[in-house]
Amino acid sequence: MTDQHRHDTRLDRFVDSYSQRTEGMRVSAVRALFSVANRPEIVSLAGGMPNIKDLPLHHIADSLAAMIETNGTKVMQYGSGQGEGVLREQIVDVMALEGITAHPDDITITAGSQQGLDLVTRIFCDPGDVVLAESPSYVGALGTFLSYQCEVVHVPTDESGISPTALRETIERLRAQGKRIKFLYTIPNYNNPSGVTQPWERRLDVISVCESEGVLVVEDNPYGLLSLDADPIPAMRSADDNVIYLGSFSKTFAPGFRVGWVLAPHAVREKLVLAQESATLCPPVFSQYAIADYLTNNDWRGQIDIFKDMYRARRDAMLLALAEEMPEGTTWTRPAGGFFVWVTLPEGLDTQAMLPRGVDARVAYVPGPAFYADGQGARNARLSFCFPPPDRIKTGVRRFADVVRRELEVMNTFGVSHSPTLSRPAPGPSANLT
Amino acid sequence: MTDQHRHDTRLDRFVDSYSQRTEGMRVSAVRALFSVANRPEIVSLAGGMPNIKDLPLHHIADSLAAMIETNGTKVMQYGSGQGEGVLREQIVDVMALEGITAHPDDITITAGSQQGLDLVTRIFCDPGDVVLAESPSYVGALGTFLSYQCEVVHVPTDESGISPTALRETIERLRAQGKRIKFLYTIPNYNNPSGVTQPWERRLDVISVCESEGVLVVEDNPYGLLSLDADPIPAMRSADDNVIYLGSFSKTFAPGFRVGWVLAPHAVREKLVLAQESATLCPPVFSQYAIADYLTNNDWRGQIDIFKDMYRARRDAMLLALAEEMPEGTTWTRPAGGFFVWVTLPEGLDTQAMLPRGVDARVAYVPGPAFYADGQGARNARLSFCFPPPDRIKTGVRRFADVVRRELEVMNTFGVSHSPTLSRPAPGPSANLT
């Protein structure tokens, strides 16, 4: 492309034509930094990519080749807007591992569970409607809620997740203000970013508050089967058929197929299918058959155990390194599964302002404010242990600790965390922010 | 599932919670009929599914297996929100066949071009905004526009597509009414459903009107390379870099991968990527690499020639059967490509009311009103020649003609087309309505 062409197409003559919702879509300030952070000398504790190096590629290749030869004109054709029946039946078996009893007809397959979030928000939320979320919550969900012009209100959490008392108070306060609450969005297992897991009793308490207040629960469970210390706690959906449940194959198999699902009461499912047809006609058909084939012809439960062993070693490496390296006054969560540790730095530090110095010290992380719609999280950072090997994690944590120590010294000398600061990132997913 | 469970989940306790846009999503009355129409004894001239029986399945299987073995952890991982660079470069070559000069950086890959429509509407349209469309237009696009609460206004067309004079008058009339027009949506090649192609001069005239009136053009071109009589006419985008262009691999390769794209000016492309990330994080990664592999390792241009020979024989069979079978007073278009013939029956007939009798006579088609947002098209039907073999097409047209003849007899005896009628279908795509 010539410079001239680049110049011509960069002018935005459409600036007055965009929809109001487009104003809520902003490029995150941290995103530019992350493109630098992908350099090999940098230890990235930022990304949420599953590590799929242990998949049986040879076996998968053979099996998919046979599928194409015998069934190619079906698996490469248009499919059902709801998703293929064979996979929906298998998904029922997957969900049974977390205590869910469901029927394939109540499942809508989506292009990753991100699209599940998009479609659920699409069918429920008008501009100005309130979505309740954990404090902190998944950056990609916040971006979707904001793109539908929702107001996101964070509910205070403790070490067991959402506080039922605070939840009820928040609902009552918002209703007193005349606000319309559409649903509570929650990640009860190994929350992204906090790593916190809601115990069973807490799940029941949260459901009970929502039921008595008439607030729908949307349970997002991408990491549920990646329990590193004990068997998974049954899903919230197992206690209440009215919970809308989002599942995904991205972490238990592979994310590149973009296949997730929504389990919803029948009336909601009908709307979801209409929304799916309007959005994409049908979810990726070849991907669905590829996953159905994988589930049929591979020991997928055994593969999850292999993944769990790998992630456990990495989590343990991170927790050990944090204990050894972090300066006094720093705290962090101890996740029982999933991908993430949530770090709280001493009062006065600013993870957002610190990020360029982190990258300079060859370590990347996601600053806390990305996980809030309201500017909280200045002292927080999400560190992910899913992708780098244990020795790299150790190196990364050491570099992170060094940066924090230097920040503390500067603060103790000058009284505040020093510039330059970045503007607060708009929540919005990227490959680094899953 | 027990009846009890079915009963429990069918009650819609969420009826007061849906968004306003969800009210525009309705189950089409013809959809139930189409599930019947998929019975093997019925000749379906309704579906818009490409016929992919001639694809080299053995070669595709081998090639994809090799791709997984050598590159599995990349092709099954998360990818770019904009789409993979290697495929965007190849798409530049595909578009060059229709006279388009473009840069890979201005392409956003989508989950089928249906998602391109969804994202373009998402970034441009607020509720109440007007989208201009051909008369008739693609049912799936109308469904998407309505799901974003747009007002669709059809522009009168003639045998060369959109009338430039009528287009200007429509724009001026709407603006005099204070309406905000966001874009003109057009399928200039072998329009779905009309089969009409806009000649080059007409394209320039339409672009000229839109440019002088400041209306954006969205060019949808799924069938462009399936020209059956002559070389393709250059795309509208080749004449104007500000045209937003939607492309697809669904008809030139296979729809099950769900890969299409949007070529847009740079500023618009930035918004599309943000919208894509919010909708699905990234378009289907494995699918993109599968298509990139297909384009690299297969004679894809030669395969399009094979498809064209197949579709040409089917189109010719349909046009011959229509000429031999249809009663006087019926007219139809003669498409130079694509999948569809648009039939206009004698005044007074109602294709919607007639459909159950068509299915009873073992032929299915799509009634004209599906392709209008405003209730036009009562005398029209879309007949597709893409899927059944020529002898089945001939049988289907004969059955269709018999039904029309009986309708005419009844009308001539009783004065009106007889009941029962179906309610007007809400536009909305399904596997039968692509």
pLDDT tier, A14 (very low <50, low <70, confident <90, very high otherwise) = confident
Q: pLDDT tens, A399-412?
A: 999 999 999 999 98
Check CB contact under 8 Å for A429 and B286: no
Task: Give the tens place of pLDDT for each residue, A35-46.
Answer: 777 788 999 999
What is d(CA B163, CA B353) in angstroms, rounded to the nearest whole number?
Answer: 30
d(CA B127, CA B149) in angstroms, rounded, equals 5
A1 confidence band (pLDDT: 50, 70, 90): very low
- Best residue in B4, B5, B9, B251 to probe A by mutation, most A CBs within 10 Å? B9
**Closest Cβ–Cβ partner in A182, A266, A279 for B115:** A279
Q: Which of B104, B35, B47, B8 is nearest to B359 (CA)?
A: B35
List CB contacts (< 8 A) between B15 and chain A. 267
What is the average pLDDT score of chain A? 92
Q: What is the pLDDT of residue A5?
A: 45
CA distances from B413 to B356, B405, B406, B418 (A): 20, 12, 11, 10
Q: Length of chain A, please?
A: 434
Q: Kindly report the nearest CA distance between residue B408 and chain A, in angstroms.
A: 36
pLDDT tens column, B242-293: 999 999 999 999 999 999 999 999 999 999 999 999 999 999 999 999 999 9
Other CB atoms within 10 A of residue A207 CB: 20
First to last CA, chain B: 32
- A275 neighbourhood in chain B, CB within 8 Å: 22, 25, 147
Residues 6+ apart with CB under 8 A from A11: B267
Say if CB A257 and CB A284 are below 8 A apart.
Answer: yes
Contact in structure between B260 and B112 (CB atoms under 8 Å): yes
Distances (CA, A) of B333 to A181, A368, B146, B317: 52, 60, 27, 14
Q: List the single best residue of B17, B216, B251 to mutate versus A (max A Cβ within 10 A).
A: B17
Q: How confident is the model at residue A24 (pLDDT cuts 50, 70, 90)?
A: confident
Q: Across the A/B interface, how many CB contacts are shorter than 8 Å? A: 315
Nearest to A68 among B20, B57, B241 (CB): B57
B contacts of A57 (beta carbons < 8 Å): 68-69, 72-73
Predicted ipTM beyond 0.90 = yes
Which tokens hold the place of A242?
A: 């009215």
How many other CB atoms are found less than 10 A from the CB of residue A356?
15
- Chain A residues inside the 8 Å CB shell of B72: 52, 55, 57, 60-61
Tokens representing residue B357 in the block = 């009798």
The confidence band for B344, taking pLDDT boundaries of 50, 70 and 90, is very high
| pLDDT score for A342 | 98
d(CA A393, CA B330) in angstroms, rounded, equals 74
Q: What is the pLDDT of residues A85-125, one digit of tens each?
A: 999 999 999 999 999 999 999 999 999 999 999 999 999 99
H or E element, residue B307: helix B300-325
pLDDT of residue A12: 78
Average pLDDT score over residue span A344-373: 95
Structure tokens at A334: 């101890």
A163-221, pLDDT tens digit by residue? 999 999 999 999 999 999 999 999 999 999 999 999 999 999 999 999 999 999 999 99
Average pLDDT over residues B354-378: 95
Minimum CA–CA partner of B52 in chain A = A73
Three-state secondary-structure class, residue B35: helix
CB contact under 8 A, A255 and B57: no
Give the Cα separation of A35 and A44 in Å (integer). 11
Contact at CB, B68 and A66, closer than 8 angstroms: no
AA letter at B42: I
Among B18, B124, B144, the residue with its CB nearest the CB of A124 is B18
A94 Cα to chain B: minimum distance (Å): 17
DSSP assignment letter at B337: B
